[in-house]
Amino acid sequence: MDESLRIITAKESGERIDALLARSVEDLSRSAAQHLIEEGRVTLDGLPLRKNYKVRAGDEFELLLPPPADVPLLPQEMALDVVFEDADVIVVNKPRGLVVHPAPGHPDGTLVNALLWHCGDSLSGIGGEKRPGIVHRIDKDTSGLLIVAKNDLAHQRLSAQLADRSLSRVYEAIVRGGFREDEGTVDRPIGRHPTDRKRMAVLASGRNAVTHWQVLCRYRDHTHIRCQLETGRTHQIRVHMASIGHPLLGDGAYGAPSPEKGLAGQCLHARCLKFVHPRSGEAIRLETELPPYFLEVLSKLGNPIE
């Protein structure tokens, strides 16, 4: 695969070049950006830069990205909390902090590596070489239920359920602030953030996105809510709740102080999953308990408000 050239323009002055690169290029960490700078792959007016260079508004940088390394996807023995499993489907309760599939910065130690150890060759190939069996994803710092297909038939039929919205996913979250209403719906399109490629945003040009929410318990400065996805856009709950002034507790990417209440990421758990079994046609409903980190946060919020 050939190297690729990216042009990155600084909109404001004062930021370090490595920070600008990490913010502008999806899946590029700051340490990886520093390595590219040290290799001379980042230039301004044809001249290489130092990693502590402070950018000026209007600077136009050329970034020469190397071809991605061909890292084999290997099985790795890791503990899995299996909630349901048969010849077609496996549903796991993913812990907080576990990346779902390999990506730049996370070549191994992912859920997919663990699934390859657990399932052997029994994962569908539709998700591609790096995402075998993966029908849908949840973020690294989101915990909860994730369904994985063991063969192509299961993958096709589960993906169809995602598309026609018959595969139901219900989450619980803790958000900042209080609600006057007991329930509501956020219907706002979501697309890639125009300047920060690691984030999503509510955009008129984005894809249709609908989240239904319901208050479970009110606290002084926070609210415990249930969210049901009608669509499944990247970071949907996080973006939608932030867009109405209620960012998820601990979600520094979308407006909440982080770390907060001891959290280094959003307080979000995929609690309930409903689907039609891809082979038998049986309606299946699975639910998990709230994980310890979530319960610990609830205990720190004080007494509920009646």
- Rounded to an integer, what distance in angstroms lies between the CA atom of residue 51 and that of residue 33? 8
Q: Which of 59, 139, 141, 251 is catalytic?
A: 139
* Cα–Cα distance measured from residue 27 to residue 117, given in angstroms and rounded to the nearest whole number: 26
Three-class secondary structure of residue 257 per DSSP: coil
Sign for the CA dihedral angle at 192, 193, 196, 198 comes to: negative
| Conformational region of residue 302, where left means phi above 0, alpha means psi within -120 to 50, and beta covers everything else | left
User: Angle at Cα 29 formed by Cα 23 and Cα 31, nearest 5°?
Assistant: 120
Q: How far apart are CA 60 and CA 37, in angstroms?
A: 15
Query: Does the annotation count 139 as an active-site position?
Result: yes
CA distance 187 to 123: 35
Q: Among residues 220, 182, 212, which one has the least CA distance to residue 298?
A: 220
250 torsion bin: left (phi>0), alpha (psi -120 to 50), beta (else):
left
| Helix (H/G/I), strand (E/B), else coil: 85 | strand
Cβ(180)–Cβ(226) below 8 Å: no
Q: Minimal CA–CA distance to 273: which of 21, 89, 10?
A: 89
- State residue 184 phi and psi, 5-degree precision: -175, 180
Buried b vs exposed e over 30-67: b needs ≥16 C-beta within 10 Å?
Answer: eebbbebbeeebbebeeeebebebebeeebebebeeee
Active site residues: 139
